[in-house]
Amino acid sequence: MTTPSRPQLSRRTFLALVPAVAALAACSSSSSGSTHNVRDFGAVGDGRQDDSGSIGKAVAQMRAGDTLYFPAGTYRYAQRDPEGGAAISLAGLDRVSVEFDARAELVMDNLADDGSGTGHGLVVRGPASQVSLRGVRIRWAVQPSQRSFGDGIRVVGYPSDGSSVPSGWTGSKGPVSGVTVADCAIRSSPQAGVIMMGVSDVTVTNVRATDTMADGIHFNACRRGQVRNCTATDTGDDGLALVTYHSETDGFDNDSETFSLAAVGDWSDADFTIADMTVSGGAANGVRLAGAARVTATGISVTGVRTGAGVIVDSAAPDSDTEWKYLASQDVRLTGLTVEDGEAGVHVLARPEGAADDTFSRFDLDFSEITIRRCERWSALVESTADRPATGVTLRGLTVAVEDIADGTGIVGLQTTRGVTFGEVGIESATPAIAFSANKSDDFRMDRIAVTVTGGAGPDRDSAGPALQFQESTGRIGAAEVTWRGAPSSWTAVSATTSSTCSPGATPENPVSIGKLETTPARLSDPVAVVCR
């Protein structure tokens, strides 16, 4: 979508607004502690009767400290363009809960005639704190025909330590903090399954997003979050996304209720812990990080994403050819990643076109214990799309198994990088392919690489390219083992192109130092080829 123009605020104003609406929050502080059962307001829950009006009456009674309760049943919501933009709209309430019985479901049956969405399932807007959403199950009765208006659960706050919001911001009347989303399920939403923007102190546990038209779970400009034991299946975009947009000055977009920051900081989807995230299917990436900070992830499993990568960390500078802009993510630690049967495995992508400094190309990423199986394009790729190199990337314990490789690609690659560090890399390929490629990449380091080709080379095995290929790159590999028992004796296992000037008749020196090289078979006539550019 086209990014609308947004009011711009100074960073000080954006992040530390003076308390101007504290009185509004105080008005909600008198808690009755009541439970509002939607059946007490006339909801039937038989899946046929329209329960929209009854649900609306129950929601209207909510005060600070109250609980909205859905007992067992299927509650059909047919009202188009509901007040507050959602079937359940909660604004300006502290210490509220929405709880569904284990056999309760809210069915959104309010698509427009053209198949587009006309409302969210559940919305929370600030000022609000200590909000609990438990067992919430929301399903659209019909799969939307297009990505359109309607998230399953949408929480909108404001990224500020103050309690007010600026003139011009219409998304909420104040910040939101202390949100718990547990044991919830969203299916077939026109947009995201669960989305949070400008929210602090978040816990998302055992959430399932299925067949959404956009991301499964999405965060923008949030801080201090936990995501545990969640699944995203066949989503229309990323399974899990931590994305904070960039602009020259901090600002907001009223139409999409999103935030953009000038620098990576405490509200850049910062201080997040992700554990046991499972993504299967989907039209984009399994997990995406853009403009994030201080993220620790463990136990990520991604299977069968149709396009994109299992995990992508990307940036985009103002002059890059992308709709949205993001800074390079910082202090990201991922341990235990498995990607199978997708287009790509791990992708670190810098787009620093036109940037005056390295804030779009200097990452701080450390990935370890990575297993990639049957990805048809790059299993691991670190690249920059401009002359400024991508930096600050470490990949340790990378194990890859591939069968078919798409033309023009390889298995593990570097493109315009500097200082990328690898630990041990193990690659098993059913066919000869470029197992490791470095192009215009300087000072990379790799402890050890072991490449095994298990099959032949198709109709003409003599045409097989090298296993290790270096083009205008420098680096060091501690040890390399290349095994292809069916290789022709003329096969070149390692190929390097040097950019330095070669003296006539002199043997060019390999710009990539390999401490120990072993090839099987050992009878290769010319295992290493070095040529001048």
Give the CB-side neighbour count of residue 463, counting CA atoms within 13 A. Answer: 4
Burial class, 46, CB count within 10 angstroms (exposed 0-12 / middle 13-18 / buried 19+): exposed
Question: What's the pLDDT score for residue 24?
Answer: 36
Question: What's the pLDDT score for residue 163?
Answer: 85
Q: Mean pLDDT, to the nearest integer, of 228-252?
A: 97
Residues of the chain with pLDDT > 90: what percent? 82
Question: What's the pLDDT score for residue 182?
Answer: 98
Residues sharing a CB contact under 8 Å with residue 435, sequence separation 6 or more, in sequence order: 410, 411, 412, 427, 429, 449, 451, 467, 468, 482
pLDDT in tens, 414-438: 999 999 999 999 999 998 999 999 9
Does the pLDDT value for residue 465 go beyond 70? yes
C-alpha Rg value of the chain to the nearest Å: 26
Q: pLDDT grade, residue 506 (50/70/90)?
A: low
More confident residue, 379 or 13: 379
Question: What's the pLDDT score for residue 498?
Answer: 82
Question: What's the pLDDT score for residue 531?
Answer: 74
Backbone conformation region of residue 47, classed left if phi is above 0, alpha if psi is from -120 to 50, else beta? left
User: Whole-angstrom distance between the N-terminal and C-terminal Cα of the chain?
Assistant: 44
- Show the DSSP H helices in 50-205 as ranges: 52-60
Q: Mean pLDDT, to the nearest integer, of 20-45?
A: 68
Residues sharing a CB contact under 8 Å with residue 5, sequence separation 6 or more, in sequence order: none
pTM: 0.93
Does the pLDDT value for residue 457 go beyond 90? no
d(CA 415, CA 473): 9
More confident residue, 498 or 64: 64
* Structural domains for the chain: 89-482 (2.160.20)
Residues sharing a CB contact under 8 Å with residue 263, sequence separation 6 or more, in sequence order: 11, 327, 359
Question: What's the pLDDT score for residue 460?
Answer: 58
pLDDT in tens, 249-261: 999 999 999 999 9
Does the pLDDT value for residue 27 go beyond 60? no
Does the pLDDT value for residue 133 go beyond 80? yes
Q: pLDDT grade, residue 8 (50/70/90)?
A: very low
* DSSP-assigned beta bridge partners for residue 2: none
Give the CB-side neighbour count of residue 437, counting CA atoms within 13 A. Answer: 21
Quick one: the chain helix, strand, coil %, rounded to 5? 5, 45, 45
Angle at 214 between CA 212 and CA 216, to 5 degrees: 65
Question: What's the pLDDT score for residue 452?
Answer: 96
Question: What's the pLDDT score for residue 6?
Answer: 42
Q: Mean pLDDT, to the nearest integer, of 158-164?
A: 90
Instruction: Return the C-alpha torsion angle 209, 215, 221, 226, nearest 10.
Output: 30
**Phi, then psi, of 323 in degrees rounded to 5:** -75, -45
- Strand, coil or helix: 25: helix
pLDDT in tens, 392-409: 999 999 999 999 888 889
Question: What's the pLDDT score for residue 327?
Answer: 98
The β-bridge relationship of strands 258-261 and 251-253 is antiparallel
More confident residue, 531 or 345: 345
Question: What's the pLDDT score for residue 90?
Answer: 98
Does the pLDDT value for residue 12 go beyond 70? no
Q: pLDDT grade, residue 348 (50/70/90)?
A: very high
DSSP code, position 161:
S
Question: What's the pLDDT score for residue 255?
Answer: 93
